[in-house]
Amino acid sequence: MGKYLYEVLRFVLRRLAWAVPTLFLVTFLVYVALRIGTNPVESYKRINPRATPAKIQQYIEVNGLDPNYVRGYFRWLVNFVTLDWPRSIKGSREVWPQLKDALANTLRLGAAASTVGIFFGLMLGIYAALRPGGRRDVGVNTAAFVGISIPPYVSAILLQLVFAVYWSRWFGSTLFPTSGVYPPGHTGFNGWLMAKHMVLPVTVVAIQIIAVYARYMRSSLLDVLSSEYMRTARSKGISERRVLFKHGLRNALIPVVTIAALDVGSIVGGLIITENIFSYPGMGKYFLSSFGEGDFPLLMPWMVIIVASVLLFNLLADVSYAWLDPRIRLE
């Protein structure tokens, strides 16, 4: 076991050694794409029409907007790594406090939605796979298909319509609020209010996750159930329940865990859309508003976080796959 652990560790280190240059490369590409796409110097001049040339020069300097992309990128990188982050174009505010709040809100929403989504997705997948071809299988499969065919903004809009307008019209009181984290004007922490505000966004994101995971789990479990070792386990006289839990589910979860880690990008995509519709002050709202303004100092740290987390989860996928399935050689 010690040898194996050592191998896993080496594997992780080698993957990390790949992930770091990739991080630099991708952030460089993002830097170039954003500079071409949003033209940060122009956005600065547009928002601060009376900025003096000295002020503009200083802005170019702190943001690493050198006409030479490579030199500019390194300038930006140095400032970024030394935590000397430039202030946002609009309102000239510090970036980190905003980003931190957005990140916390999104993590809360994403964690809640993932937990709900993965739990129900796996349950439905198992439920469907136990009687392949049966009525519940067809039902779950069809429902999952409907789930993946509904874009998040469609379910969000329909939920908003029901809960923002019709619920109070029909029942005389609002059940779930449809925007923000707290009612306007609220200060301080209140878990109950926060949870109530999160119900609808979580539902929207979870629908997608449930649909995707139900399908993965179903097909993975079906594969496992029809394999030779399951037949062997049964023929040994182990109870059906034990066969299912000890041998079936454990092996069926291996590919699902990997996919879970790789799927984080699409969950973030769903979060961006959902947050904007429910005016939820998270990463998605942060991104779309700063992207709309072409606010380069706000956008770059956001991008770095996203790039880093995508790479991190890719790494986790590789590692978990190797960890969970000893048949995978860590060459």
Partner 1 sequence: MLPTISPRRMAFNRFVSHKAAVVSVFILATLVLFVALSPFTARYGVNEAVQAPPNYFLSPRANAWLGTDDIGRDLYSRLIYGVRVSLIIGLFSAMISVAIGCLVGSVAGFRGGRFDDVVMRVTDLFLAFPFLVTLLVMRNMLGAITWLTPVIGELSSVRFIIVLFAIFGWMGVARIVRGQVLALKEREFIEAARAVGASRWYIVRRHLLPNSIGPIMVALTFSVVSAIIGESTLAFFGYGPQAGAGATSLGILVGQAKGAVNTGFWWLALFPCLTLVTIALTINFIGDALRDATDPRMQKDG
Is residue 47 at the binding interface for partner 1, with CB under 8 A as the rule? no
Is the separation of the CB atoms in 69 and 44 below 8 Å? no
- Nearer Cβ to partner 1 (128/243): 128
Q: How far apart are CA 186 and CA 152, in angstroms?
A: 28
One residue of 39, 48, 227, 320 binding partner 1 per CB under 8 A: 39
Give the other-Cβ count within 10 Å of 11's Cβ.
18
Is residue 173 at the binding interface for partner 1, with CB under 8 A as the rule? no
Which amino acid belongs to residue 99? Answer: L
One residue of 20, 70, 107, 154 binding partner 1 per CB under 8 A: 154
Task: Please give the DSSP secondary-structure letter assigned to residue 173.
Answer: S
Is residue 224 at the binding interface for partner 1, with CB under 8 A as the rule? no
Is residue 314 at the binding interface for partner 1, with CB under 8 A as the rule? yes
- Nearer Cβ to partner 1 (251/314): 314
- Nearer Cβ to partner 1 (202/272): 272
Q: How far apart are CA 212 and CA 78, in angstroms?
A: 41
- Nearer Cβ to partner 1 (153/182): 153
Is residue 306 at the binding interface for partner 1, with CB under 8 A as the rule? yes
Which amino acid belongs to residue 213? Answer: Y
The CB-based long-range contact list for 74-81 (8 Å cut-off, 24+ gap) reads 76/31, 76/300, 77/24, 77/27, 80/300, 80/301, 80/304
Total residue count of the chain as it appears in this document: 331
Is residue 220 at the binding interface for partner 1, with CB under 8 A as the rule? no
Residues that bind partner 1 (CB under 8 A): 22, 26, 30, 33-34, 36-39, 142, 145-146, 148-151, 153-154, 157-158, 160-161, 164-166, 169, 262, 264-266, 268-269, 272-273, 276-277, 287-288, 291, 306-307, 310, 313-314
